[in-house]
């Protein structure tokens, strides 16, 4: 078993069309992610960020290379996408509880953990509200709680706050960090926002333009917990400039 939560070795992804023309989406990806780490993935549009996340999440298969997991992460993962994908006829708690219902894991302990997550996400007062009664930011909070409800060790997030306004996005970044610090999950987070990646992450993976390669892995040495003071820290600005320079 790998000592890492996720380890990728020599991973490649090639798409072929009807004319037998190949498009190389990912090339020679080598990546090690430690348990409990928060990793963000950034890079130019079309560089394969979401493809890489889908492969890690077993939603797509690599053309070649290997992926190793630990702690059963390949069998249990939480997913949060840009669209919250809530069931419109179920209320907040029912949506958050849905994975427990499907997996028949509605134990007293799991129900108590779910209520703790709803409290942590600031949703306790809205348990009976339907999705149509929620703001975009609140819907995403529900989707995050739902992804964590069955205690999966790995959380994969693909542009979860991309459609939100800047102020709501900043607020949810802080809420996400509170939840992550409480749950100690391994998080892989795809974003187009350099500032978001810097604010959230232990390390930021910068990918090259297609074919997507690992251009650089940048350690983010900013103290935790992070908040508004982090965004005003000169080191925060320096990291953003450095990451922007790598992307070019």
Q: Where are the domains of the chain?
A: 6-76+152-247, 86-151
Architecture per CATH, 6-76+152-247: 3-Layer(aba) Sandwich (3.40)
Burial 170-180 (b: 16+ CB within 10 A, else e): bebbebbbebb
Q: Going edge to edge, which strands form the sheet with 214-219?
A: 77-80, 154-158, 186-190, 38-42, 203-207, 214-219
Burial 198-232 (b: 16+ CB within 10 A, else e): bbbbbebbbbbebbbbbbeebebeeeeebeeebee
- What pTM does this model have? 0.93
Nearest alpha carbon to residue 239 among 201, 207, 209, 183: 201
Print pLDDT tens along the chain (248 aa).
567 899 999 999 999 877 767 889 999 999 999 999 999 999 999 999 999 999 999 999 999 999 999 866 666 789 999 888 999 999 999 999 999 999 888 889 889 999 999 999 999 999 999 999 999 999 999 999 999 998 888 999 999 998 899 999 999 999 999 999 999 999 999 999 999 999 999 999 999 999 999 999 999 999 999 999 999 999 999 999 999 999 98
């Amino acid at each position: 078993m790998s000592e890492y939560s996720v380890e990728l070795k020599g991973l490649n992804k090639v798409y072929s069309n009807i004319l037998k023309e190949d498009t190389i989406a990912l090339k020679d990806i080598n990546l090690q992610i430690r348990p409990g780490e928060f990793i963000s993935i950034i890079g130019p549009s079309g560089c394969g960020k979401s493809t890489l996340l889908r492969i890690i999440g077993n939603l797509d298969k690599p053309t070649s290379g290997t992926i190793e997991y630990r702690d059963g992460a390949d069998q249990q993962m939480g997913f949060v996408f840009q669209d919250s994908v809530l069931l419109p006829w179920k209320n907040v708690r029912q949506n958050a509880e849905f994975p427990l219902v499907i997996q028949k894991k509605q134990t007293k302990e799991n129900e108590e953990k779910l209520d703790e997550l709803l409290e942590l996400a600031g949703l306790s007062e809205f348990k009976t509200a339907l999705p149509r009664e929620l703001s975009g930011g609140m819907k995403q909070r529900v989707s995050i709680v739902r992804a964590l409800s069955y205690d999966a060790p790995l959380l994969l997030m693909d542009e979860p706050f991309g459609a939100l306004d800047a102020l709501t996005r900043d607020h949810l970044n802080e809420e996400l960090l509170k939840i992550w610090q409480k749950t100690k999950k391994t998080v892989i987070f795809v974003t187009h926002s350099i500032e978001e990646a810097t604010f959230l992450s232990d390390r930021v993976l910068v990918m090259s333009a297609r074919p997507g390669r690992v251009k650089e892995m940048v350690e983010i040495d900013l103290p935790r917990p992070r908040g508004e003071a982090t965004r005003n820290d000169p080191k925060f600005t320096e990291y953003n400039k450095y990451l922007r320079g790598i992307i070019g």
